[in-house]
Amino acid sequence: MPRSTTPQTLSREITISGHGLHGNRPCSVRLVPVAEPTGIVFVHTPTGTVIPAKADLAGDLVLATTLVKDGVRLQTIEHLLSALMGLEVEHIRIEVDAEELPILDGSAAPWVEAILQVGVKGLAGRRRFMKITQPIEVRNGDRWIRALPYDGLRLRYVIDFPIPALGRQSRELSLTPDKYRRELGAARTFCLAQEIDMMRARGLALGGSLDNAVVFGADGPLNESLRYEDEAVRHKMLDLVGDLALLGAPLLGLVEAHAAGHALHVALAQAILAAPGSWEWTEEAEPANVRFFFQPAGLTAAAQPA
Ligand SMILES: [Zn+2]
């Protein structure tokens, strides 16, 4: 499926309500289409605070992605951002009446279904991508993430947990809206049973349950079933797609992550934005070999992707 070449918003408004995973408070979210390209912009309606989805506003990144502006926090934004970026809806106003977005079923699937139900609408102009031209990497001990040049957006993710029920999982995927919907969107957030007391003591996961998270005990998931055999690594990829939204534009590159999480995902976005020599703007979404087909033979053979 070719990637969209025009900027996209939604065809109609969507309102979804639920409660937050960490604070367990009710929240209603209204997705409002925009008339021209604006990027993804949150509005905290009780205060009127406008918070663009940008990496320089990222705050607390423990177990969720949070934006902070003028003292207002918006927590657990990553699953909605993931659904929007996965479906190439990169221009939208998101009105939120609380400080944490609803966790829903713990995946991006409810957002994906709602977006597909109303459909997307093209806006004037050309879609612009940030195309990685030089490798860029962020490390934290054994955990790391890096972006490499690539035609398209390709994700490669490895997780390695010291409990047999999870263990090592790896997956690689070239992202298209269709693949996002089928292979990542429904993967639920997860945690280890042994972490729950620690999280609750810190005021986290107060709204968590087997209805909105997969909980792994020593012998396997406590939930009745998994949606994918490797649901955990797929959810990490879902989170990565959402966190990369904080670049403010779609990315073209190969992103490799090893035992990463929100903090490293956002650190990569910040590192890319801080290194303008490592990427360039392009409006060309198609792989180079599609273009080369129309060019004289021999001109660019060496540049074709393997
Ligand atoms: Zn998540």
pLDDT of residue 295: 41
Taking alpha carbons only, the member of 153, 31, 215, 176 closest to residue 41 is: 31
- Give the Å distance between the CA of 12 and the centre of ligand 1: 26
Long-range contacts from 193-196, C-beta under 8 angstroms, 24+ separation: 193/217, 193/218, 193/222
Alpha carbon of 174 to ligand 1 centroid (Å): 20
**pLDDT at 297 > cutoff 60:** no
Which residue, 138, 151, 159, 155, is CA-closest to 269? 138
109-137: average pLDDT? 97
- Using 50, 70 and 90 to split pLDDT, how confident is the model at 287? low
Distance 83 CA to ligand 1 centre (A): 11
22 belongs to the catalytic site: no
User: For the chain, what percent of residues have pLDDT higher than 90?
Assistant: 80
Query: Which single residue is written with the structure tokens 């997705």?
Result: 31
Q: Summarize the confidence of residues 12-30 as an average pLDDT.
A: 95
Residue 17 predicted with pLDDT over 90: yes
pTM over 0.85: yes
- What is the average pLDDT across 118-144? 96
Average pLDDT for residues 209-219, to the nearest whole number?
92
Taking the centre of ligand 1 as the mean of its atom positions, its distance from the CA of residue 9, in whole angstroms, is 23
Compute, in angstroms, the gap from residue 50 CA to the centroid of ligand 1. Answer: 23
The predicted pLDDT at position 163 comes to: 87
4: pLDDT strictly greater than 90:
no
Single out the residue of 127, 43, 120 nearest to residue 77, CA to CA.
43
pLDDT at 215 over 90: yes
Q: Which of 19, 235, 262, 265 is catalytic?
A: 262
Q: Which residues pair with 52 in a beta bridge?
A: 41
Q: What value does the mean pLDDT take over residues 142-146?
A: 97
For CA atoms 115, 40, 259, 136, the dihedral sign is positive
Q: Write down the pLDDT at residue 64.
A: 86
> What is the average pLDDT score of the chain?
91
Question: What number is the average pLDDT over the span 71-89?
Answer: 97
Please give the distance, rounded to the nearest whole angstrom, from the Cα atom of residue 29 to the centre of ligand 1: 18
Bridge-partner residues for 255, per DSSP? 147, 155
State the distance from the centre of ligand 1 to the C-alpha of 112, rounded, in angstroms. Answer: 15
pLDDT digits (tens, 9 = 90+) for 219-250: 899 999 999 999 999 999 999 999 999 999 99
What pLDDT is attached to residue 23? 87
CATH architecture group of domain 8-301: 2-Layer Sandwich (3.30)
Strand partners, 44: 49, 96
